[in-house]
Homo-oligomer: A and B are copies of this chain.
Amino acid sequence: MKEIQGGVTAAKGFEAASAAAEIKYKDRTDMAMIYSQVPCRAAGTFTTNVVKAAPVKWDQNVVKNSEYVQAVVVNSGIANACTGTEGYDYCKTTAEKAGEVLHIPAEAVLVGSTGVIGMQLPIERICVGIDKLAAVKSDTIAAGTDAAKAIMTTDTCKKELAVTVEISGKTVTIGGMAKGSGMIHPNMCTMLSFVTTDAVISKAALQKALSEDVKDTYNMISVDGDTSTNDTVLVLANGMAENEEIVEGTEDYARFAEALHAVNVGLAKMIAGDGEGATALFEVNVVGAETKEQAVLLSKSVVCSNLTKTAIAGHDANWGRILCAMGYSGAQFDPEKVDLYLESAAGKLKIVENGRAASYSEEKATEILSQPVVIATADMKMGDAKATAWGCDLTHGYIDINADYRS
């Protein structure tokens, strides 16, 4: 497996487009399209929020019932959530319009929306946008990158990644783009991730590979603990790599799953690191836990703790907040066994030994915590299970963005 340049247009036969449709923003692109030259198998995972946005409902239906999909239409600015039957009808209109322009069935069109909740989409501008998108779609790397930019809301940078892997003598490419910065606590969030691959793979194997991987990737990130109404991860596989069909339980499946994981975990970390107002990506490793479930609870509790997140923002090795967050996670452990390490490009320090302060230099700790990627590792010394979660620091920037987002 190796990382290559690009995102959703990296895999063979995939095209992308972006357009400025004035959905809510002015002077920027706010619609994107992904199109495959041939029909694709699709897999998806979606928010578990009881309040599901209209495009989530549309896509759940398409992924379940359509044998093939061939395009995805996405807008930023308005989430099309809490919009009733009118909102759902707009998804249908969007798919019908795209189907008409692209000469494919409406049932082969997935849709995605992200932005403010409760507003209706300006459907006429959406339709004009689809005409523009269809006219400019292209299989260039730049087209993929521009699409990744068009789906941003409070994101400060585009998020895309691609890898190749050899499967049955053929080079299979998997590429993806994602957006997400606030309302990020995916439990399959306003997280959208679109992954494309030219692999030949059965629909069942594709869904399984995705469903298993989101648990260790998107579902292990949190910016603010708010699980969105719109979280969507879609994978489209168009088969143009011409490998032997990948089915579950094979070595090829394992190789594909590993490559898919590389794309998913990369995109997930980009989302966490670009959390609203964030100045640092905060990675929390829990090792030596009794069970995987406990390791997950412990690591997620730490990345979600506002007090820990503000301590990271302040470059303050206030480790008591980390132990406190583990303590209320719901996992059982012996606090007096815990060792805790802080690590970054500036070095690594043991901060806590057996639940109590180790002797360390506060100055060095502050230096470590001043880097753009900060890693905390807690050794529970209870067993062999481990998990990793990703979050970010909590800063004045988050307050600025969210105390006045709608205006």
Contact yes or no, B321 A117, CB < 8 A: yes
Q: How far is the CB of A50 from chain B (nearest CB, A)?
A: 4
- Residues of B within 8 Å of A119, CB to CB, are 357
Partner of A316, one of B335, B355, B407: B407
Q: Of all chain B residues, which has the CB nearest A117? A: B320
Q: How far is the CB of A193 from chain B (nearest CB, A)?
A: 18
**Does residue A396 face the partner (Cβ distance < 8 Å to B)?**
yes
Q: Of all chain B residues, which has the CB nearest A84? A: B356
- Residues of B within 8 Å of A305, CB to CB, are 225-226
Partner of A314, one of B83, B183, B314, B404: B404
Partner of A405, one of B318, B402, B403: B318
Partner of A118, one of B83, B333, B356: B356
**Does residue A26 face the partner (Cβ distance < 8 Å to B)?**
no
Bound together, the chains give a CA A278 to CA B398 distance in angstroms of: 15
**Does residue A326 face the partner (Cβ distance < 8 Å to B)?**
yes
Q: Of all chain B residues, which has the CB nearest A333? A: B50
**Residue interface mask A377-407, B partner, CB < 8 A = 1:** 0000000000000000011101100111111
Q: Of all chain B residues, which has the CB nearest A407? A: B316
Contact yes or no, A399 B396, CB < 8 A: yes
**Residue interface mask A134-178, B partner, CB < 8 A = 1:** 000000000000000000000000000000000000000000000
**Does residue A49 face the partner (Cβ distance < 8 Å to B)?**
yes
Partner of A328, one of B226, B321, B355, B356: B226
- Residues of B within 8 Å of A325, CB to CB, are 226
Q: Of all chain B residues, which has the CB nearest A187? A: B328
Bound together, the chains give a CA A41 to CA B79 distance in angstroms of: 57
**Does residue A102 face the partner (Cβ distance < 8 Å to B)?**
no
Contact yes or no, B117 A403, CB < 8 A: no
- Residues of B within 8 Å of A357, CB to CB, are 82, 118-119
Contact yes or no, A355 B84, CB < 8 A: yes
Q: How far is the CB of A271 from chain B (nearest CB, A)?
A: 16
Q: Of all chain B residues, which has the CB nearest A335? A: B51
Contact yes or no, B403 A82, CB < 8 A: no
Contacting B at CB under 8 A, from A68-100, are 79, 81-84
Bound together, the chains give a CA A275 to CA B207 distance in angstroms of: 45
Contact yes or no, A326 B50, CB < 8 A: yes
- Residues of B within 8 Å of A403, CB to CB, are 310-311, 313-314, 316, 395
